[in-house]
Chain A
């Protein structure tokens, strides 16, 4: 019997999380640079801070669409990272219990290309770790919020993703030297197992002009486990088999997706009756990110031919050495125009500086990532309703955001590094609309 484990072969092409983490959830938040922990007032609170769900009296359904177009370059050439696009749907149902506000909320980020995608790349192949598979994820969350005392609410919930486990089994006779004489039974078993991670928040209206918030989002790792096994004899029917009861088993275990634990503190200040500023400071625990490369184990028994099979020894996976990051987010919202019946126009802007958690790629790994500057603008139109057709107030929010990646050089230690030195930079243009309906 020959064994080989673990052997580095392929690397899932992703490092982290979901489209909401990258481009925000809902157009209002995205237009304000994602600085929403202390200011979210719609169903997007399911993502930013569930405690802020318990802030209103209307049932709300928010439906939107977001699009992100990356142009991520290595040595001046576009690597053609996929666009990200999909719907966002949020639900907020408030109520009161014993005179205290209570609310439940749910959020869905629904990519319209891939509900989920996992790709494996050859180990040394460079890839933009932050952007590659990350947006191609279905995001689900369900939250509940309570008002503890007037002005102080807590909230929490769970977000859902799925990991993949699959096996392929072949059993029977492998025709040799006549492949057409093979007689194999095939069994495939694939499970998408639910992964849940917690989401907690606190919101406090400290003064009439100051709101504070704290939000925690749990980290998680999605595993991708695949196995292939073939059992049986090798030979021809009704003849002595060349290999009796041989087998080949191949299993891979890799990290499909990683999200760092995130703790965010935020403050929102109504500077004037028309102007609100929001500031978030987020801690992202990237230091727990491990090399996502597939660990491949091969086990085989081909009887008399075992000595002819030479399996190379497994290679240790280099650690990615990511480090924790602090991400500041700044947002402003100005009620630029309003009418007595409640119609209003709000203009928004935001800025985020997101330092990269990835070190310079000087060795065998090529997890490309850069410091990012995200600048966003947005607008929101509110109507008091449109007669009998739409009797309740509704709103349309829109945003456009530009992410600029600082140019970054990667100089390899070895002159025979297969990838060599390179320079990475790029930009991501994102935009979206959210329609917000009250009932």
Chain B
């Protein structure tokens, strides 16, 4: 009897397999921030926080989509020393590895299209009905927004012959409820502007900017300028649409050279009325330009450009 009891006690106390502590996986997040740059890791071949960089090439204004294997497809503006600004692309299997598809040119400005004026950059890429659509900035003194469509998953791109929006730069686009909503900067107007189109080929500006600088807010990171918008629209499992807008901002310019930009965030339930996040603070400290954010599970990944060895490279930051 006693032996049986001891056996029972011992057997019961053995337990089954170890289970890891948890309860914190896949938690929801809007990915607002704050973001922290990838820490340099000397055990990897990558040059954290940079994921795409080259000593002879500048990369700026990244757009990104997830690959089916969890890797990243990147598009960006790239310019070799002495060369023209073109649209480029690369692919990453992991943030801590070198690109498994090295940076390459996707297309350059067409010589006979005056409006592209020898410069294309700042692509925004979205997937619409199984096709890839790219909206990009073209031109120099009078920037415009062009559009290209790929029916083969990004191998080849067919460009619209005319710009889809004039007097605008740094596009970011969302395809919402069967229509296109774009946020851009305007060279002659401060702030971030919303523009809409039913078919993506002709956009019209809203009457007023969505986000403007905050010159009257003491210590705000964006008292002087806002720019480089990136919009992300998601519908929660609870069924409500949420709009997130990351953008760069600057405070007062230093005496010499351009002010470094930091990244801020605003949220909205309709894409029209926006509320800023974080008070006066940015979600990613300067210097950081042209954010692009991907959300997955409970994590946010931000790609941005930052100077490295006198060139711009694409770097990564994560939240939380």
Interface status of B320 (Cβ within 8 A of chain A): yes
For the complex, give the distance between the alpha carbons of A273 and B5 in Å: 32
For the complex, give the distance between the alpha carbons of A63 and B4 in Å: 11
Count B interface residues, CB 8 Å: 43
Closest CB of chain B to A25's CB: distance in Å? 14
Q: Which residues of A contact B242 (CB under 8 A)?
A: 415, 420-421
* Proximity bits, B16-57, A CB within 8 Å = 1, else 0: 101111111111111010000000000000000000000000
Q: Which residues of A contact B13 (CB under 8 A)?
A: 87, 110, 112
* Proximity bits, B240-271, A CB within 8 Å = 1, else 0: 10110000000000000000000001111100
Q: Which residues of A contact B23 (CB under 8 A)?
A: 13, 72, 79-82, 127-128, 131-132
For the complex, give the distance between the alpha carbons of A131 and B24 in Å: 12
Interface centre among B8, B12, B265, by most A CB within 10 Å? Answer: B12
Which of A43-51, A149-157, A330-338, A406-414 lies at the interface with chain B?
A406-414
Closest A residue to B28 by beta carbon equals A422
Interface status of B107 (Cβ within 8 A of chain A): no
A422 touches B237 (CB 8 A): yes
For the complex, give the distance between the alpha carbons of A100 and B262 in Å: 80
For the complex, give the distance between the alpha carbons of A415 and B245 in Å: 11
For the complex, give the distance between the alpha carbons of A87 and B265 in Å: 50
**Which one, B12, B22, B239, B297, contacts A64 given CB within 8 A?**
B12
Closest CB of chain A to B270's CB: distance in Å? 9
* Proximity bits, B273-297, A CB within 8 Å = 1, else 0: 0111110000000000000000001
* CB within 8 Å for A417 and B30 given contacts A390-B1, A411-B240, A423-B238: yes
In which size bucket is the chain A interface? 35 or more
A122 touches B8 (CB 8 A): no
Interface status of B83 (Cβ within 8 A of chain A): no
Secondary structure call for the B interface: loop
Interface status of A76 (Cβ within 8 A of chain B): yes
Which B positions have Cβ atoms within 8 angstroms of A? 1, 4-5, 8-9, 12-16, 18-30, 32, 236-240, 242-243, 265-269, 274-278, 297, 320
Extra contacts besides A80-B20, A110-B13, A127-B23 (10): CB < 8 Å? A64-B12, A77-B25, A80-B23, A127-B24, A131-B23, A409-B237, A417-B30, A417-B267, A421-B28, A422-B238
24 contacts between A and B (CB under 8 A): A13-B23, A65-B12, A75-B28, A75-B237, A77-B297, A78-B26, A80-B24, A82-B19, A82-B23, A112-B15, A119-B21, A122-B320, A127-B27, A128-B23, A390-B1, A391-B1, A411-B240, A415-B267, A416-B278, A418-B277, A421-B28, A421-B237, A422-B28, A423-B237
Q: Which 7 A-B pairs have the closest CB atoms?
A: A80-B22, A77-B26, A415-B267, A409-B238, A421-B236, A416-B277, A423-B237
